[in-house]
């Protein structure tokens, strides 16, 4: 591979959406941010300079960061933030991966506006395991607030209430014609009849899983989270925040100038209010020479119908269709033996009010979220540094529970005690430990789908189901042949998912719900993977410009 240099200036920029102009944090003044294009095997050197009043970090979502955890980016996990006026060089090599990923800010709610696509092309002369598309088009979904998102989350955390929901969804930064005053800000994709397009779908929205559909067109899913999958056809794609999905679209319409809506709207299962609006982009067929130009006008946009916002059955069915290619060239390297088994509950609960807060929950409590009842408390130092320099004392403890502290009917009647615990706890693993993890949604406050994202690894999705996981029965259904290999998986609302990964990457790796509101409430934890014995089994030393806290 080659080395590619990028300069990312984090700076404020005025952007107008929904008829209001606001100053947002951007990279290089662009919204969405610049696209990174590289090939498998390339090394990336991305110099990030912070020109804004906020602390900043960037994360290269889904990049494995083999032994290069210092470049991963989550604030206070792998690095201290880049402070105003300072810079940091993210330095990593893309090893054994090709496909669509994305980058985003990984501190507070800055990723609301600070994100962009990563396109990793196969190695030179390597081809796709599907017909080569005529054109490739990244389609990045986002979420737009009229208000400043940093103010919203800071207020929510300070008052112990729920943050405001967004005002619009966006496709490549543009809300589209379904919103007031937004028709001009519509993403348009011009296509030639008969050609095939590869749409690189990325859900960069903060808080919403999305259904996506192109009216009158069937999509063929060929890749998920930068891993090839067995191609399958679908009308509607479900994509959670943190997930990426490549689909082929054949422009099969015979009508010149025809227009079809590309619609994105939430899949939402929680009790809270959410932004139930639809972002629309337009698939526009090129004018054909044979069509009289008078016909070019007033061809109505054909709308796309989407499932009910809470259609969990559709969601489950869609997710179960995703299977690894598991071919000779792209094998599914599912760990066959298991060294350690974990059972983690994920869900919402409450915590006592913090000092100076006036909380909105019952008995002066605030909403919170947890893994195994532990609501993660952000440390004041970066975990990776504390780990590397053997200074964990006062920063984190390694007693994260392997199982929930108490058992109950997770998806039935909520338990009496909805009060969570809190702390900065991690699981420590030996190098090359094979981990099996069952993630069980709870209905302590309510059942809700949680897109869980693991840094530093891909994992295999062995099975998923509704209700309580049954350790006697369910493992017999585990797919060890061609399970989906991904970095983000939806834990079904009121259900469970079982995953496996090999801890072959030394470092500290964050795992969290990719709904930013839940992350803010503590639905996150970290794995510490210790060095192995071999020379190539050790975390590299920290770079000299690593920011200080």
Binding-site ranges for ligand C2O (CB under 6 A): 59, 61, 74, 104, 106, 242, 453, 455, 510, 512, 514
- Give the integer Cα–Cα distance in Å for 48 and 506: 24
Question: Residue 146 to residues 149, 208, 532: CA-CA distances in angstroms?
Answer: 9, 17, 49
Q: How many beta carbons lie within 10 A of that of residue 300, not counting itself? A: 7
Nearer CB in complex with ligand C2O: 104/217: 104
What residues are paired with 27 via a beta bridge?
10, 30
Largest pairwise CA distance in the chain: 76
Smallest distance from ligand C2O to CB 106, Å: 6
Helices (H), 334-429: 383-388
Q: Which of 113, 107, 149 is nearest to 32 (CA)?
A: 113
Q: How far apart are CA 160 and CA 164, in angstroms?
A: 12
Q: Which two tokens stand for residue 375?
A: 């609501």
The secondary structure element, H or E, covering residue 247 is: strand 244-250
Instruction: Provide the β-strand partners of residue 36.
Output: 118
| Shortest distance in whole angstroms from residue 105 CB to ligand C2O | 10
**Three-state DSSP class for residue 484:** strand
CB atoms within 10 A of CB 212: 26
Q: How far is the CB of 111 from ligand C2O (least distance, A)?
A: 7
Determine contact, residues 495/393, Cβ cutoff 8 Å: no
User: Token digits for 303?
Assistant: 């709308």
Contact 81, 130 (CB under 8 A): no
DSSP state of 429: E
CB nearer to ligand C2O: pick between 78 and 468: 78
In angstroms, what is the minimal distance from the CB of 74 to ligand C2O?
A: 5
Number of residue whose CB is nearest ligand C2O:
61
User: Which CB atom, from 453 or from 500, has the smaller least distance to ligand C2O?
Assistant: 453
Place of tokens 């947002």: 24
What is the rounded CA–CA span in Å between residue 135 and residue 251? 11
**What is the nearest approach in angstroms of ligand C2O to the Cβ of residue 519?**
8
Nearest to ligand C2O of 282, 526 (CB atom): 526
Give the nearer residue to ligand C2O in terms of CB position, either 388 or 510: 510
Least distance from ligand C2O to the Cβ atom of residue 453, Å: 5
The residues, ordered by sequence, that sit 6+ positions from 71 with a Cβ below 8 Å of its Cβ are 60, 65, 78, 90, 91, 92
Give the nearer residue to ligand C2O in terms of CB position, either 106 or 425. 106
Report residue 522 as tokens.
């503590």
Phi, psi of 307 (to 5 degrees): -65, 165
* 65 or 166: CB nearest ligand C2O: 65
Q: Shortest approach of ligand C2O to residue 60 CB, angstroms?
A: 9
Judged by CB, which is closer to ligand C2O: 258, or 515?
515
Dihedral over alpha carbons 441, 443, 444, 446 (to 10 degrees): 120
CB of 226 to ligand C2O, least distance (A): 13
The distance of closest approach from Cβ of residue 62 to ligand C2O in the complex, given in angstroms and rounded to an integer, is 8
CA distance 239 to 199: 13
Minimum Å gap between C-beta 59 and ligand C2O is 5
Rounded to the nearest whole angstrom, what is the least distance from the CB of residue 69 to ligand C2O in the complex? 13
Q: Give whichever of 61 and 217 is closer to ligand C2O, judged by the CB atom.
A: 61
| Nearer to ligand C2O (CB atom), residue 106 or residue 486 | 106
Q: Are 267 and 211 in contact (CB under 8 A)?
A: yes
Q: Which residue, 323 or 518, has its beta carbon nearer to ligand C2O?
A: 518
Nearest to residue 39, comparing CAs of 112, 103, 96?
Answer: 96
């Amino acid at each position: 591979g080659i080395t590619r240099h990028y300069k990312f200036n984090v700076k404020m920029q005025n952007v107008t959406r929904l008829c209001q102009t606001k100053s947002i944090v951007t990279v290089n003044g662009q919204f969405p941010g610049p696209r990174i294009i590289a090939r498998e095997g390339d090394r990336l050197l991305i110099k990030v300079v912070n020109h804004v009043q906020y602390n900043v970090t960037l994360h290269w979502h889904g990049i494995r960061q083999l032994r290069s955890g210092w470049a991963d980016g989550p604030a206070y996990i792998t690095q201290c933030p880049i402070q105003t006026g300072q810079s940091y060089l993210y330095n990593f090599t893309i090893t054994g991966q090709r496909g669509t990923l994305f980058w985003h800010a990984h501190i507070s709610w800055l990723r609301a506006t600070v994100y962009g696509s990563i396109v990793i092309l196969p190695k030179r002369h390597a081809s796709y395991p599907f017909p080569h598309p005529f054109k490739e088009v990244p389609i990045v979904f986002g979420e737009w607030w009229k208000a400043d998102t940093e103010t919203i989350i800071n207020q929510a955390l300070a008052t112990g209430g729920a943050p405001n929901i967004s005002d619009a969804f966006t496709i490549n930064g543009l809300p589209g014609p379904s919103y007031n005053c937004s028709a001009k800000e519509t993403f348009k994709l011009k296509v030639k009849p008969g050609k095939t397009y590869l749409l690189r779908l990325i859900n960069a929205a903060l808080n919403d899983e999305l259904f996506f559909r192109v009216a009158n067109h069937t999509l063929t899913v060929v890749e998920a989270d930068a891993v090839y999958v067995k191609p399958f056809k679908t009308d509607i794609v479900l994509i959670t925040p943190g997930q990426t999905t490549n689909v082929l679209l054949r422009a099969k319409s015979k009508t010149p100038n025809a227009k079809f809506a590309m619609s994105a709207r939430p899949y939402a299962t929680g009790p809270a209010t959410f932004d139930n609006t639809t972002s629309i982009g337009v698939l526009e067929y090129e004018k054909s020479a044979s069509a009289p130009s008078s016909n070019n006008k007033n061809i109505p946009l054909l709308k796309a119908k989407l499932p009910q916002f809470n259609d969990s059955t559709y969601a489950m069915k869609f997710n179960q269709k995703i299977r690894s290619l598991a071919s000779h060239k792209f094998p599914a390297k599912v760990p066959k033996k298991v060294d350690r088994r974990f059972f983690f509950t994920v869900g919402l609960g409450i915590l006592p009010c913090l000092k100076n807060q006036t909380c909105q929950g019952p008995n002066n409590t605030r909403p919170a979220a947890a893994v195994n009842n532990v609501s993660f408390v952000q440390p004041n130092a970066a975990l990776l540094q504390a780990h590397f320099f053997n200074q964990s004392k006062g920063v984190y403890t390694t007693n994260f529970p392997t199982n929930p502290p108490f058992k109950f009917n997770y998806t039935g009647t909520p338990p009496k005690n909805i009060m969570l615990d809190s702390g900065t706890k991690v699981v420590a693993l030996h190098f090359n430990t094979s981990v099996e993890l069952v993630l069980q949604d709870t209905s302590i406050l309510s059942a809700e789908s949680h897109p869980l994202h693991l840094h530093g690894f891909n994992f295999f999705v062995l099975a998923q189901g509704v209700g309580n996981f049954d350790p006697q029965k369910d493992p017999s259904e585990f797919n060890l042949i061609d399970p989906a290999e991904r970095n983000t998986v939806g834990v079904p609302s009121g259900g469970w998912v079982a995953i496996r990964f090999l801890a072959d990457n030394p470092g500290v790796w964050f795992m969290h719900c990719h709904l930013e509101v839940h992350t803010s409430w503590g639905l996150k934890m970290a794995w510490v993977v210790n060095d192995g014995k071999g020379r190539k089994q050790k975390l590299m030393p920290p770079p000299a410009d690593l920011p200080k806290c």
